């Protein structure tokens, strides 16, 4: 389905939990964020019903996220049920990778297409510092498992934060020369504890200049599921490098997505107040046609663009928005 601005909306990010097993400093406070009660969170069969309705308005790809999607019980079963839905072409997942090692194969067998893995440092002590509790070696086991079972292309999401990891930009870029890994440098957004602020923000133009000190970047159009990234081939290497500048490069004009939060709110835009409650109608016995109508309404509500750049003062929490 097209929205008011002629954008074809065919992709939905589905947050399946607001819980997380890490506490990344730019995302959450050390104590975590107030969690929704068990009853507020969509049950797995409710998620399947809502995705079925989404397919009716033209959603063709679904990405599971969170919180940390792999902490949700029976995520493998959910992937299996979604992957079997007629009309849905791809189910993918964004994860911090901590639980991916043992789950990669069952997820692949259930029908998962590919994974994005968030990794902000290649240095064990620093990784622990940024995530407060994470173990880098465990994430690497997850990355290796994803490559081995073919959850490809494997993308690594790297949020660049000044003073945290901006001195590792070239190390990440070199990884794409050695391994079939697709590095996506992401600008920090004024969401979560990132209120730490504007001083920590590194624009993608600066990240790209740093990469170009050592690499010749050749634009790449065809990488599956490129999304908002501008991607480049790495000379002589199996990987690629991409840049996602949510703030500095408005890509809203080619935004193709909706978001479904873990507590059943349909959000037409990550950073915009409007949302539609789909859980209450679902639990009150709405028909499939009525649910489809709510999805149509969400598409129709999509704003032309976000106003993220106004947000450093009042950040929201990414793990609740379904990042």
Task: Please identify which residue in 92, 96, 193, 261 interacts with ligand SF4, judged by CB under 6 A.
Answer: 96
CB 158 to ligand SF4: min, Å = 12
100 binds ligand SF4 (CB under 6 A): no
| Closer residue to ligand SF4 in complex, CB, 117/234 | 117
Give the one entry of ligand SF4, ligand SAM, none that residue 186 binds, where binding means its C-beta sits below a cut-off of 5 to 8 angstroms depending on kind: ligand SAM
Task: Please identify which residue in 9, 12, 22, 115 interacts with ligand SF4, judged by CB under 6 A.
Answer: 22
261 binds ligand SF4 (CB under 6 A): no
**What is the DSSP pairing of strand 11-15 with strand 61-65?**
parallel
Query: At a CB cut-off of 8 Å and minimum separation 6, what does 151 contact?
Result: 104, 107, 108, 112, 113, 114, 115
DSSP designation for 244: E
Question: Taking the CA atoms of the chain, what radius of gyration do you get in angstroms?
Answer: 19
185 binds ligand SAM (CB under 6 A): no
Residue keyed to tokens 């407060």: 132
Give the one entry of ligand SAM, ligand SF4, none that residue 239 binds, where binding means its C-beta sits below a cut-off of 5 to 8 angstroms depending on kind: none
Task: Please identify which residue in 319, 320, 321, 322 interacts with ligand SF4, judged by CB under 6 A.
Answer: 319
Q: From CA 290, how far away is CA 292, in angstroms rounded?
A: 5
Q: What are phi and psi of 50, to 5 degrees?
A: -70, -35
Beta bridge partners of 88: none
Q: From CA 225, how far away is CA 55, in angstroms rounded?
A: 18
| Closer residue to ligand SAM in complex, CB, 50/188 | 188
Task: Please identify which residue in 20, 71, 151, 196 interacts with ligand SF4, judged by CB under 6 A.
Answer: 20
213 CB neighbour count, 10 Å cutoff: 9
Secondary structure (3-state) at 199: helix
304 CB neighbour count, 10 Å cutoff: 13
| Closer residue to ligand SAM in complex, CB, 191/294 | 191
Whole-number Cα distances in Å, 218 to 64, 233, 266, 294: 30, 5, 37, 42
Task: Please identify which residue in 9, 28, 119, 188 interacts with ligand SF4, judged by CB under 6 A.
Answer: 28
Q: From CA 207, how far away is CA 224, in angstroms rounded?
A: 23
Q: At what angle do helices 100-110 and 75-83 cross, to 10 degrees?
A: 30
Task: Please identify which residue in 13, 23, 184, 257 interacts with ligand SF4, judged by CB under 6 A.
Answer: 23
Binding region for ligand SF4 (CB under 6 A) out of 15-23, 172-180, 243-251, 265-273: 15-23
Q: What are phi and psi of 91, to 5 degrees?
A: -120, 125
| Closer residue to ligand SAM in complex, CB, 197/281 | 197
Q: From CA 284, how far away is CA 27, in angstroms rounded?
A: 34
188 binds ligand SAM (CB under 6 A): yes
Give the one entry of ligand SAM, ligand SF4, none that residue 188 binds, where binding means its C-beta sits below a cut-off of 5 to 8 angstroms depending on kind: ligand SAM
66 binds ligand SAM (CB under 6 A): yes
97 binds ligand SF4 (CB under 6 A): no
Encoding tokens for residue 303?
Answer: 């704003």
| Closer residue to ligand SAM in complex, CB, 62/159 | 159
Residues forming the site for ligand SAM (CB under 6 A): 20, 26-27, 65-66, 68, 94-96, 118, 157, 159, 186, 188-189, 191-192, 194, 318-319, 323
Residues forming the site for ligand SF4 (CB under 6 A): 20, 22-24, 27-28, 66-68, 96, 118, 318-319
């Amino acid at each position: 389905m097209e929205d008011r601005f002629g954008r074809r909306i065919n992709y939905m990010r589905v947050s399946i939990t607001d819980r997380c097993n890490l506490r990344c400093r730019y995302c959450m406070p050390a104590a975590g964020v107030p969690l929704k009660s068990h009853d507020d969170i969509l049950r797995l069969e409710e998620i399947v019903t809502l995705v079925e309705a989404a397919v009716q308005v033209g959603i063709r790809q679904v990405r599971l996220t969170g919180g940390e999607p792999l902490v949700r019980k029976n995520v493998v079963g959910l992937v299996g049920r979604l992957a079997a839905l007629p009309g849905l072409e791809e189910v993918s997942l964004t994860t911090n990778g901590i639980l991916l090692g043992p789950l990669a194969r069952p997820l692949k067998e259930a029908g998962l297409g590919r994974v994005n893995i968030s990794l902000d440092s290649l240095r064990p002590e620093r990784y622990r510092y940024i995530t407060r509790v994470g173990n880098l070696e465990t994430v690497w086991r997850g990355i290796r498992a994803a490559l081995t079972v073919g959850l490809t292309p494997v993308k690594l999401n790297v949020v660049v934060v000044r003073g945290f990891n901006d001195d590792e930009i070239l190390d990440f870029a070199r990884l794409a020369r050695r391994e079939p890994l697709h590095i996506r440098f992401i600008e920090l957004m004024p969401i979560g504890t990132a209120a730490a602020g504007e001083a920590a923000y590194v624009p993608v133009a600066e990240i790209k200049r740093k990469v170009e000190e050592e690499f010749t970047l050749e634009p790449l159009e065809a990488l599956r599921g490129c999304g908002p990234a501008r991607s480049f081939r790495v000379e002589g290497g199996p990987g690629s490098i991409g840049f996602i500048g949510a703030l500095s490069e408005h890509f809203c004009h080619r935004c193709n997505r909706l978001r479904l939060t873990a507590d059943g709110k349909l959000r037409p835009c990550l950073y915009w107040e409007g949302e539609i409650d789909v859980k209450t109608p679902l639990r009150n016995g709405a028909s499939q046609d009525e649910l489809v109508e709510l999805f149509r309404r969400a598409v129709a509500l999509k704003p032309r663009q976000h106003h993220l750049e106004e947000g450093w003062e009042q950040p929201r929490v990414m793990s609740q928005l379904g990042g």
